[in-house]
Amino acid sequence: MKIKSTRFGELEVAEEQLINFSNGIPGFPDEKNFAYILHDEESPFSFLQSTTEENLTFLLVDPFAFFKDYEFVLEDEIAKELALTEENLPRVFLIASVKGNLADMTVNMLAPLVINGVNRTGRQVILDKPEYSIRHKLFPDGLPTEAVEGGK
């Protein structure tokens, strides 16, 4: 399938990259179909590109690469809706926001994306965890040395 993106240009995406959010994503209720795009195999970053709105791309972050103690209990109703089981655990991502300086990047820890990688369905879950924030700094101590030095 070919899709257009203002970030990536025209993309050929495989069926395995498509994820359906039957409830949309809060703030974007009509956007239900997205393509999951890896940054690269080793990166904790990836993208979620709308298949219909070329201007809508979310930067995703693997929370466990940055926050080892990040955890929450997924409600049974949501696990059932996404057909998640002990054998089919979810993939979890945080939506990141970059406004200006990369060092000031924030992530929404209060509303993770929960995705079933087998049937390619997803949902943004709103947590009841006051210790988490919608604008949590990803790099509270500044950018890692590798990023500042260009990975050298």
CATH number at residue 100: 2.30.290.10
Contact 49, 8 (CB under 8 A): yes
Closest CA to 113 of 102, 105, 122: 122
Q: What pLDDT score was predicted for residue 147?
A: 56
How large is the average pLDDT for residues 90-104? 93
pLDDT digits (tens, 9 = 90+) for 39-68: 888 999 999 999 999 999 999 999 999 999
Q: Number of folded domains in the chain? A: 1
- Is the pLDDT confidence value at 30 over 50? yes
pLDDT digits (tens, 9 = 90+) for 1-18: 999 999 999 999 999 999
- Is the pLDDT confidence value at 151 over 80? no
Q: What is the 3-state secondary structure (H, E, C) of 18-62?
A: EEECCCCECCECCCCEEEEEECCCCCCEEEEEECCCCCCEEEEEC
Q: How confident is the model at residue 152 (pLDDT cuts 50, 70, 90)?
A: very low
Percentage of the chain surpassing pLDDT 70? 95
Q: What pLDDT score was predicted for residue 92?
A: 98
Closest CA to 123 of 66, 67, 84, 65: 84
What residues make up the domain containing 43? 2-148
Could you tell me which residue, 99 or 20, shows the higher pLDDT?
20
Q: What pLDDT score was predicted for residue 134?
A: 95
Q: Which residue matches tokens 């904790």?
A: 44
Residue 138, burial from CB neighbour count under 10 angstroms (0-12, 13-18, 19+) = buried
- Is the pLDDT confidence value at 131 over 90? yes
The pLDDT mean for the chain works out to 92
Task: Give, in degrees to the nearest 5, the angle at Cα 111 between 7 and 39.
Answer: 30
- Is the pLDDT confidence value at 145 over 90? no
